[in-house]
Structure 1
Amino acid sequence: MPTFYKRQRGSSRADWTEEQLKDAINAVQNGMSLNQASKEFGVPWSTLKRRIANGCFTKKALGGPPVLTQECEKKMVKRIIKLQKFGFAPTRTEVRIMAYKLAEKCNQHHKFNREKEIAGMDWLHLFLKRNPELSVRKSEAVSLARSRGLNKKNVSDYFSLLRNILIEHNLLDKPGNIFNVDESGLQLNNRPGHVVAAKGSKSVAAITSGEKGETITVIACCNGEGTFLPPACVLKGKNEKAEYRDGMPPGSIIFMSQKSAYVTTDIFLLWLRNHFAPRKPEGTVVLILDGHSSHCSSVDTLEFAEENNIILLCLPSHTTHYLQPLDRAFFKALKSYYYNACNSYIKMNPNRKISRLVFGGLLSKAWVQASTTDNAISGFRSTGIIPFNADAIPEYAFLTSASGQQENNERREKISTSPQPGCSHWQEIPNPSAEATAEVDNNQGIEHMQASPQLGCLQRGKNLQKNIHFSSEATDFNTNIVNLRNRKCQNKTSIESVKSGENAKKKAKGKTITKETTKNKQRKKRKASTTDTESDSSLDMDLEDDDDDDVDDEECCCVGCSELCRCTKKDVDWVKCISCQLWLHEDCSRYESMCHICGKKQEK
């Protein structure tokens, strides 16, 4: 930390204001002497004489000037704020590197570390003090899909659809008929947080129930009036025990699932039929939910919703962190209260584990504290549903604009027009459940592009959307990404195409291609001398193919990490350096469309 000057008690140095200086200078210019003006306005005689001679009438801080001028620092502040708007706020180390480069570019005299090319921490503290509009904050992780999905077009289309539904069914002044449902997972384990311990302790241990606890899904639902439905829990297993319900909130239900504790289409239909429908008010209701496949891919669910006057409004993908009321104002509080209850239970029962038998009591304590009317009303208000407000989403939520996304896509496509080495996980696979649904009724099917979170590959399916409303999700950015990924899948390099053709031929003959060592190759050559001419030609062909593979691997390897193309394990795209025309992984260089060697040369 830098040392700040503290004025000593009784010191009169610089004990005057800028207004006193200006008044004294005006008095001198009107005919008053320097001594008289100095005594009357409290400005030292030498200071007054020097300021009149220099023509400087502003008061500056004591000590030497900063390394960067005020104009340069203001440019840095604007740059940092601009990067934050796009979701790339710089770290403290990056700001120090930025200051060093700016000082070198402006030919400013500095004492920064020239070996590491970075400014010091003292300069950073003083820089933040001189610019109070900046501060060190804890950043929040937002996935690329969410940053791209939450754009103004998607949000505008969603609010337009919501407005039309509320006006059509006369629900603008009926908050009790507007519901939101969502699910979240709670683990049978405690999470120790910050504790108070002896200063200088190297390690502070905290007892937990286990290394990793079992996950139980909790389905929550509330309406715009602040009323919560009793929770529904999903446990993994086949047979339900009566002890699982001990201590749970009144009216709660339990669903058993053999595969996992996640919500499936059957479980959601049971919840909608046996839990939600008996408690909903008379007339038409709107049920807002996310676009998970368990919510909107079942024909029985859609038919039941239509028969019971339930309108299912599906939120745009990757926007629930700002558009879903339960995500905004309920689940964070529920998890906080739940894990506090788990910590208290472990302290009171140090020799017992948190199991299903005590889950009901822990959930009940957290549910009473979190499911308040204020939390529900706050969630609907912050998302612009009740009261209806299409401008409820703040500007800082939109990290990137649609125009910026389109420019990034165009620039990315212009990097290399030649075929690129594609990643193995970018494959287009069919969706059997979607195709089966499409055969039921093709006229009422709506094509829905969905990205698989596990494989990262695109699935195209047709879902029966009879009584469910989807907001527009087909932005220009999404279509560009789809076209770009399809192009990468189709336009593979000549190396991979030759290999795939040879592998197909050799598999048809019942042979397998493997990389052999030099000893195995010599053995084959010895055996080839004793066999007939046909076997000689086949073995020679295999050896030639192996040599060609080695040459191809040497030619197509990453410049940054030297990883071969055919042996790559990274799930990133390959780019081509625009200077040396060599291939590299996208994350193996901090320079855009350029390898680290060419990038450093260009900076010099």
Structure 2
Amino acid sequence: MPKVRPRTTNKANWTMEDLQRAIKLIVEQNYSIRNAAKTMNIPFASLYKRYKKKFDKAPRLGHQTVFTPEMEKEFADIIKKMANIFYGCTPNQIKRAAFEYAEALNLKHDFNKSTRLAGRVWFEGFIARNNISVRKPEATSINRVTAFNKTEVGRFYNLLEELMEKYKFLAKNIYNCDETGISTVQEPERVLTATGQKRVGSITSWERGKNITMLCAMSAGGGYVPPMFIFPRKRMTPTLEKDGPTGAIYKCSDNGWINEELFLQWLKHFTQYAKPSAEEPILLILDNHASHSSLAIFEYCKENYVHMLSLPPHTSHRMQPLDVSFFGPFKAAYRRECDLFMKSQLLQRITPYDVASLVKKAFSNVASMSKAEAGFKATGIFPINSNVFSDEDLIAAEVLQSEPIVVQDLADSILGSPSVGAVASVSSITATIELEQNSPIPSTSTYCPTTSERVTTRLSQFDIPSTSKDLTSVQNFIQMPKKVTVAKKRQGRQKQHATILTSTPIKDALVEKENKKKAKALKTQGKGKGIGKKSKPQEIRREKVKKKILQDSNDTSMSDVNTDELCQDDENDDTEDASNLCLVCGEFGRNNETWYRCTSCGHWAHADCTGWDSAYNYVCDMC
């Protein structure tokens, strides 16, 4: 913040009301300027300048700022609008631009000429005077920026209004569902330590954790459906459900992600709690992930009075109630529970078997009616508010999706039409050069005469020396993103939009999708059978033993003793199977399954159950 200097004088202690009273004494009661100044306790020079020269500014202490208020306002407008299109300026960019601009205008300043940057005191004073703050931005992908546009958002609300008018959904029957990832490695919270200590650490479970998918749903009326957990494993075990949320269901998949079959199972779980009927149908709002749409899902929803509406792609960060109001507080609460769990015992680790109990504690602390209602209200879903997002929220997509343009045209589209009296209006500048942060001041011959004339006229009002007449706007001292023509992308998946996933026209596409899937399965049928290189060594050994028994059974020269010994070896293998069970799921292997061996205890586990990408230095959860 700027330096705080305590007031030590009574100068400039009068107000604009005192000024008006003094002028009234002069005009109406024929007071002299000196007597009016003495009566109202205003300095004679201040009253004289404001009365005779029509100067109506409020009193202030301190030296004059480097730039006039109009110049600073132009700076501030550019900074705010650049932030709105996700190309915000950094403090160093603004400091450098301020230095270059002051040098170009030949203004008196005390900026650092060796680093060619404005000072910290000027910068902090500038942001305080112009209602600007330094914020850490949220990383937002280009897809999210461009997809959140007026056309796609308007389409979603039109479909929402159409469904609401047709089915008259109650607040308790409007749901939003979405998946989120739960990791076994928590992000540590802030801790207390000695002042000046350079390195501060906090213990975590692993260097790289396992990601578990959790599918949640909440209603506009404040209700929550018990979540579904999806673990990255081959088979389930009851120990994963220990102390989990009441009513939750637990499934597994090879990679821990949701798929069409698992989503259909969740829908059956969901309808048990939501209880849709012909009189009270359900509206389910969700993203357009591929796992949310299949022929079986379509038919189940039709039979059970569930209407699904998908959000526009890449807009869930602004339009999905769970993302807006629930997942943020839930993740923070989950991190706190993980921290408490880790610090409750020395060298305690978080394994997939502990996740359910930790989620239960965090979920019960966060899942409140107010959060659900706030999420639906903030996104304009319930009550329906298609104007919940202003033009300022949607301007980024409009600017960035326009035709390829030069730098200055992009500046015009950001700033809009020029304001009367702005210093060297941006729209009047025809130059298209880009200035790097360390680039020298541009030559005055680059700019057109009309710009110079307008700058000279405007600067003369601020008593700026005439030597600074051929100058550009502030805009040319702030690095702008240059929009270039991008090569045409190869044809990929058709662009998606907000869609009613349970509408009749969708069925034809789902039938075609199902037929293609069956044809592909039929084509690959029979491939990959038998014992391959990735089979468990124990299985290979057992197959070899059985094969040898069959071969030797036809050998008449083989004695009964040898046959008994061979059978005894096979029995010994069976007794050793207990040590070769999968450490995670506790089952034997099947054909074509990859296994990893723990480098510490030597026991085996399915590769898919471990969550490791390779067997290199694999250590099981128990070790």
Question: For this structure pair, what is the TM-score category when the shorter chain's length is used for normalisation?
Answer: 0.5 to 0.7
Aligned pair in 2 of structure 1 residues 304, 105: CA closer, same or farther (>3 Å)? Answer: same
Aligned counterparts of 1:23 and 1:421: Cα–Cα separation in 2 = 65
Find the residue that maps to 1:231 and give its secondary structure: strand
Q: 1:154 aligns with which of 141, 147, 152?
A: 152
Q: For 1:54-107, what per-residue CA distance to the aligned partner results, in whole angstroms no more than 9, with x for missing partners? A: 664534422321111122111112222222222222121122122223323433
Report whether the alignment pairs 1:5 with 2:5. yes
Residue type of the partner of 2:335?
Y
Aligned counterparts of 1:2 and 1:333: Cα–Cα separation in 2 = 34
Report whether the alignment pairs 1:337 with 2:336. no
Unpaired stretches in structure 1, ≥5 consecutive residues: 432-440, 448-460, 466-604
Aligned counterparts of 2:405 and 2:53: Cα–Cα separation in 1 = 55
Aligned pair in 2 of structure 1 residues 246, 65: CA closer, same or farther (>3 Å)? Answer: same
Aligned pair in 2 of structure 1 residues 409, 167: CA closer, same or farther (>3 Å)? Answer: farther
Hey, what does 1:233 align to over in structure 2?
229
Find the residue that maps to 2:200 and give its secondary structure: coil
Hey, what does 2:266 align to over in structure 1?
271
Aligned pair in 2 of structure 1 residues 143, 462: CA closer, same or farther (>3 Å)? Answer: farther
Post-superposition offset of 1:409? 7.3
Aligned counterparts of 1:242 and 1:409: Cα–Cα separation in 2 = 60
Hey, what does 2:74 align to over in structure 1?
75
Aligned pair in 2 of structure 1 residues 60, 237: CA closer, same or farther (>3 Å)? Answer: same
Aligned pair in 2 of structure 1 residues 80, 241: CA closer, same or farther (>3 Å)? Answer: same
Find the residue that maps to 1:213 and give its secondary structure: coil
Hey, what does 1:488 align to over in structure 2?
none
Aligned pair in 2 of structure 1 residues 462, 443: CA closer, same or farther (>3 Å)? Answer: same
Hey, what does 1:219 align to over in structure 2?
215
Aligned counterparts of 2:406 and 2:144: Cα–Cα separation in 1 = 21
Post-superposition offset of 1:238? 1.6
Hey, what does 2:255 align to over in structure 1?
260
Aligned counterparts of 1:421 and 1:14: Cα–Cα separation in 2 = 58
Aligned counterparts of 1:275 and 1:421: Cα–Cα separation in 2 = 44
Q: 1:162-311 residue pairs with structure 2 within 5 A?
A: 162-168=160-166, 170-172=167-169, 174-257=170-253, 259-276=254-271, 279-283=274-278, 284-296=281-293, 298-311=294-307
- The alignment covers a number of residue pairs equal to 430
Q: 1:33-112 residue pairs with structure 2 within 5 A?
A: 33=32, 36-45=35-44, 48=47, 56=55, 58-112=57-111
Post-superposition offset of 1:53? 6.8
Find the residue that maps to 1:363 and give its secondary structure: helix
Hey, what does 2:120 align to over in structure 1?
121
Question: Is 2:184–2:350's contact at 8 Å kept on the other side of the alignment?
Answer: yes
Aligned counterparts of 2:103 and 2:317: Cα–Cα separation in 1 = 42
Hey, what does 1:563 align to over in structure 2?
none
Aligned pair in 2 of structure 1 residues 53, 307: CA closer, same or farther (>3 Å)? Answer: closer
Aligned counterparts of 1:392 and 1:442: Cα–Cα separation in 2 = 30
Aligned counterparts of 1:265 and 1:188: Cα–Cα separation in 2 = 25
Aligned counterparts of 1:285 and 1:3: Cα–Cα separation in 2 = 59
Question: Is 2:146–2:400's contact at 8 Å kept on the other side of the alignment?
Answer: no
**361-370 vs 269-278, which moves further:** 269-278
Post-superposition offset of 1:362? 0.7
Aligned counterparts of 2:485 and 2:324: Cα–Cα separation in 1 = 42
Post-superposition offset of 1:110? 2.5
Hey, what does 1:529 align to over in structure 2?
none
Find the residue that maps to 2:402 and give its secondary structure: helix
Aligned pair in 2 of structure 1 residues 52, 276: CA closer, same or farther (>3 Å)? Answer: closer
Question: Is 2:145–2:397's contact at 8 Å kept on the other side of the alignment?
Answer: no
Unpaired stretches in structure 2, ≥5 consecutive residues: 409-431, 433-483, 495-503, 516-623
Question: Is 1:150–1:398's contact at 8 Å kept on the other side of the alignment?
Answer: yes
Aligned counterparts of 2:168 and 2:361: Cα–Cα separation in 1 = 34
Post-superposition offset of 1:138? 2.6
Report whether the alignment pairs 1:348 with 2:361. no
Post-superposition offset of 1:278? 6.4
Post-superposition offset of 1:307? 2.5
Report whether the alignment pairs 1:366 with 2:362. yes
Q: For 1:490-521, what per-residue CA distance to the aligned partner results, in whole angstroms no more than 9, with x for missing partners? A: xxxxxxxxxxxxxxxxxxxxxxxxxxxxxxxx
TM-score (norm 2): 0.63
Find the residue that maps to 1:392 and give its secondary structure: coil
Percent of aligned pairs with the same residue? 29
Question: Is 1:154–1:316's contact at 8 Å kept on the other side of the alignment?
Answer: yes
Aligned counterparts of 1:443 and 1:339: Cα–Cα separation in 2 = 41
Q: 1:370-409 residue pairs with structure 2 within 5 A?
A: 370-402=366-398, 405-408=401-404
Find the residue that maps to 1:333 and give its secondary structure: helix
Q: For 1:501-547, what per-residue CA distance to the aligned partner results, in whole angstroms no more than 9, with x for missing partners? A: xxxxxxxxxxxxxxxxxxxxxxxxxxxxxxxxxxxxxxxxxxxxxxx
Post-superposition offset of 1:390? 1.5
Q: For 1:424-468, what per-residue CA distance to the aligned partner results, in whole angstroms no more than 9, with x for missing partners? A: xx655689xxxxxxxxx9996559xxxxxxxxxxxxx97579xxx
Q: 1:458-473 residue pairs with structure 2 within 5 A?
A: none
Aligned counterparts of 1:56 and 1:319: Cα–Cα separation in 2 = 51
Aligned pair in 2 of structure 1 residues 409, 78: CA closer, same or farther (>3 Å)? Answer: closer
Q: 1:404-419 residue pairs with structure 2 within 5 A?
A: 405-408=401-404
Aligned pair in 2 of structure 1 residues 244, 62: CA closer, same or farther (>3 Å)? Answer: same
Q: For 1:181-203, what per-residue CA distance to the aligned partner results, in whole angstroms no more than 9, with x for missing partners? A: 11100111222122222211212
Post-superposition offset of 1:228? 1.0
Q: For 1:571-602, what per-residue CA distance to the aligned partner results, in whole angstroms no more than 9, with x for missing partners? A: xxxxxxxxxxxxxxxxxxxxxxxxxxxxxxxx
Residue type of the partner of 1:153?
T
Question: Is 2:174–2:220's contact at 8 Å kept on the other side of the alignment?
Answer: yes
Q: For 1:28-65, what per-residue CA distance to the aligned partner results, in whole angstroms no more than 9, with x for missing partners? A: 56543566434422234565567667664534422321
Aligned counterparts of 2:407 and 2:32: Cα–Cα separation in 1 = 68
Post-superposition offset of 1:148? 0.7
Q: 1:145 aligns with which of 143, 146, 151?
A: 143
Post-superposition offset of 1:309? 2.4
Aligned pair in 2 of structure 1 residues 428, 43: CA closer, same or farther (>3 Å)? Answer: closer
